[in-house]
Amino acid sequence: MSDIAAPIEAKPRDRTFTQWWPAVGSVLVVIALVIVPGLTQRQDILNRLFLLFLCITLGQSWNILAGFAGQINLGHAAFFGTGALMTRTLWLNGMAFPLAFILGGLVAMGFALVIGIPTFRLRGAYFAIGTLALAEVLRITVSNTNPLISTLSTDSIASYDKPSRYYLALGLSCVTILSTYLLSRSRWNLGIMALREDEDAAQATGVRTIQHKLLALAMSSFFAGLAGATFAFDSVSYYPHAPFQPEWTFDPLVICFIGGLGTLIGPVLGTAFFILVREQLSLQIQAHEIVFGIIFIMIVLALPGGLVNIWTRLRRLLGPPHKGSTG
């Protein structure tokens, strides 16, 4: 009896470990990242990690609307740029940065909700093209009305502190991931996921499609606006239309498809791959964008679910055999 009981008692412990190790591992990684500025003063390392955190936030915010709700947004740069423009303007005009930071996210979210009501009447490719057109209109408008470069004051440059920017980007990426996780565990997620699978069927079963779309859009644009605010806080100088460039839409799109669209960890894996591989290619190959495009196509074809599927496949290979299996 003791021989039989031993493995039965071990199963709950194994299951508990499997459930909790991702959270424990994530906490350990965050702790390690927190102490990095105390271990090194190399600006290239801090800048690369800052960009990593910023792209995680931007990718995860795009993933909320496109991955979970199935609404492919090609105007994400509009929310990123709005947050950057609002925060930079308020901050350089004397407002405390924490307040300007939050207002940047809220204004981006308010703008998204205003344009979301009419654009959500469009579906599929028409919605994607409509959001892209709105983003381009906004970029051209900002470029024409703010043609001069935006530069920090002499006092701000003299007191520039990279670790504070680093910790802001790290904290924002953690909050974005946590908020996405809580959304995926909420009752709202059932309706949002139903929209992604079949909007007509979801509406026929009583799902309030517009409300669920607007919730996903609000979260997506809010964190995109905060990412833009972080960019504005970090950059010493840039043209005001720079945060509205299409790259701030298509970079998170590529990140999500590489890592795994509609998954929690996918944008994190996609960002790590995107930043590391693209930078190495840019240093070694002149036509690095073409090579990276080929790699992107190969990943999408080989792993339709993204890099996150690698872990799933390894877990199936290394996990215990299914009941009824032989050998």
Give the tens place of pLDDT for each residue, 67-80. Answer: 999 899 999 999 99
Query: Cα 138–140–143 angle (5° rounding)?
Result: 105
Highest-pLDDT range among 2-16, 227-241, 298-312:
227-241
On whether residue 12 sits in a domain, the answer given is no
Q: Is the predicted pLDDT of residue 92 greater than 80, yes or no? A: yes
Q: Is the predicted pLDDT of residue 191 greater than 90, yes or no? A: no
Q: What is the pLDDT of residue 15?
A: 53
Q: What is the pLDDT of residue 321?
A: 56
On whether residue 23 sits in a domain, the answer given is no
Q: Which residue has the tokens 């947050």?
A: 83
Q: Look up residue 151 and give its DSSP letter.
A: E
Q: What is the mean pLDDT of residues 127-147?
A: 91
Expressed as residue numbers, the domain containing 185 is 42-318
CATH value at residue 298? 1.10.3470
Q: Which residue has the tokens 């606006």?
A: 225
Q: Is the predicted pLDDT of residue 217 greater than 90, yes or no? A: yes
Q: Which residue has the tokens 């309706």?
A: 191
Strand 237-238 versus strand 150-151 pairing type: antiparallel
Pick 119 or 82 by higher pLDDT: 82
Of 134-143, 188-197, 255-264, the least confident: 188-197
The helix or strand, by DSSP H or E, that contains position 11, with its residue range, turns out to be helix 2-34
Highest-pLDDT range among 89-98, 189-198, 310-319:
89-98
On whether residue 160 sits in a domain, the answer given is yes
On whether residue 2 sits in a domain, the answer given is no
Show the tokens assigned to 49.
């990690």
On whether residue 29 sits in a domain, the answer given is no
On whether residue 33 sits in a domain, the answer given is no
Which candidate, 86, 43, 101, places its Cα nearest to that of 244? 86
Q: Is the predicted pLDDT of residue 249 greater than 90, yes or no? A: yes
Identify whether the C-beta of residue 229 lies closer than 8 Å to the C-beta of residue 83: yes
Q: Is the predicted pLDDT of residue 323 greater than 60, yes or no? A: no
Q: What is the pLDDT of residue 11?
A: 46
Show the tokens assigned to 122.
């469009």
Q: What is the pLDDT of residue 40?
A: 86
Q: Which amino acid is at 53?
A: F
CA distance linking residue 84 with residue 274, whole number of Å = 23
Confidence grade of residue 19 (pLDDT, cut at 50, 70, 90): low
Q: What is the pLDDT of residue 194?
A: 85
Q: Which residues are bridge partners to 150 per DSSP?
A: 238
Identify whether the C-beta of residue 215 lies closer than 8 Å to the C-beta of residue 112: no
How many folded domains does the chain comprise?
1
Q: Is the predicted pLDDT of residue 5 greater than 50, yes or no? A: no
Confidence grade of residue 2 (pLDDT, cut at 50, 70, 90): very low
On whether residue 36 sits in a domain, the answer given is no
Strands (E), 166-301: 237-238
Q: What is the pLDDT of residue 327?
A: 41
pLDDT tens string 48-57 = 999 999 999 9
On whether residue 79 sits in a domain, the answer given is yes
